[in-house]
Amino acid sequence: MLSQEQIEEIKGHLERAQNPIFLFDNDCDGLISFILLRRFIDRGKGVAIKSFPELDESYLRRVEEFGSDYIFVLDKPQISKEFIEEARKKSIPIVWIDHHDVNPGLEGVSNVSYYNPIYSKEKSSEPTSFLAYSIAGVKKDNWLAMIGCVADNFLPDFSEEVIKEHKELFSKHPKSAFDILYESEFGKLVSMLSFGLKDRTSNVVAMINLLFKINSPSEILTEDEKNFKIRKRYESVNSVYQKLLDKAKRVARASKKVVFFQYGGELSMSADIANEISYRFPGKVVIVAYLKGSIANVSIRGKSVRNATLRVVEAIEGSRGGGHEHATGAKVSVEDLDKLRKIFEDEFED
């Protein structure tokens, strides 16, 4: 948990910010973190971060374009040194809120206020949308906050109240966040936003604008002209997703402990596929690689996969990676994928 003092500090930053830019990780947790804070102060621009694994200096262009006086970075584990240095030269403060277990590398840096419950006295790693909900404290946004939490496989302490208020969207007695994600109408809501983020920029902007004003899940789930594009996008991405998922399931059934699945194409969905395979095949270590050109973006799920992921970064030159204890990501060149796979097989199979 962030302390009350930290929460008040972040509120102070938000109140001082006249024209902030929110740079958020390009997934549901990042998106919802932004939406909650934006709804709270009712000003500022939001941009999804596509650079991986770090927020890179190319995003300074957006800061300039908007004339932002404050930079909020949400749910992103790394920021490039150049980005931080350029913001310092322009005297723009950076407020960085995250929950990944990483060293942010801020020694000697003065223009960044860093908040991460991993470094709290009582170490924890609740999703950034949970943190944003604690900061904004807008009770009626609880269902939005829950979307971000469920997407990050976290059942928040306020989930009972959301379930009570929207009974029709939940199956009975979900035991975990992923029970909700994969077995209920509320989970479909999560997927709709998650797939919506994979759409072209103008449609993402339209989705964000809808989320600024929305007051209930039905405004997304019940067909009308305002949510037409989100629903259409969901259907087309979901059909691609289901096909890939079927293939991955076949691989999982034929695998020992480590499931290794790779695919290419236009849509980056390795995290979504890895999450669902890991849910459907508990106990396995799931590696899903999305190949684009000579680069593979890899999502890894399973009990204690973090150490092996860090070993990959050590062993393979030019690779990047890290994340949570049971959910990590890595970026390697395609020719090194076999090495990566071997490191996991050596660790988890005998």
Interface with Mn ion (CB under 5 A): 29, 75, 127, 152
Could you say which DSSP state residue 170 is in?
A: S
Neighbours of 180 (CB within 10 A): 27
User: Residue 133 is encoded by which pair of tokens?
Assistant: 């909900």
Cis before 53 (ω within 30)? yes
Q: How far is the CB of 247 from Mn ion (least distance, A)?
A: 27
Taking the least distance from each CB to Mn ion, the nearer of 151 and 258 is 151
Cβ at position 305, least distance to Mn ion in Å = 16
**Between 98 and 141, CB nearer to Mn ion:** 98
Q: In this structure, are residues 79 and 103 in contact, taking their beta carbons and an 8 Å threshold?
A: no
CB 98 → Mn ion: shortest distance, Å?
A: 8
- What is the side-by-side strand order in the sheet with 327-333? 258-263, 285-292, 295-301, 327-333, 320-323
Minimum CB distance to Mn ion smaller for 27 or for 276: 27
Nearer to Mn ion, 152 or 276 (CB): 152
The residue number whose beta carbon is nearest to Mn ion equals 29
245: its two tokens: 């998922």
CA distances, 144 to each of 36, 98, 130, 212 (Å): 8, 18, 10, 11
Least distance between Mn ion and beta carbon 294 (Å) = 28
Angle between helices 185-196 and 142-151 (to 10 degrees): 80
Nearer to Mn ion, 130 or 281 (CB): 130
- Which CB contacts under 8 angstroms, 24+ apart, belong to 136-143? 136/36, 136/37, 136/39, 136/40, 138/36, 138/39, 138/40, 140/215, 141/36, 141/39, 143/216, 143/217
Residue 104 CB, shortest distance to Mn ion, in Å, is: 15
In 10 A of CB 66, how many CB atoms?
14
Closest CB 29 distance from Mn ion, rounded Å: 3
Nearer to Mn ion, 176 or 333 (CB): 176
Q: Which is nearer to Mn ion, 119 or 228 (CB)?
A: 119
> Is residue 171 within 8 Å of residue 165, measured between CB atoms?
no
Take residue 160 and report the two structure tokens written for it: 């009972």
Report in angstroms how near the CB of residue 148 gets to Mn ion at its nearest. 8
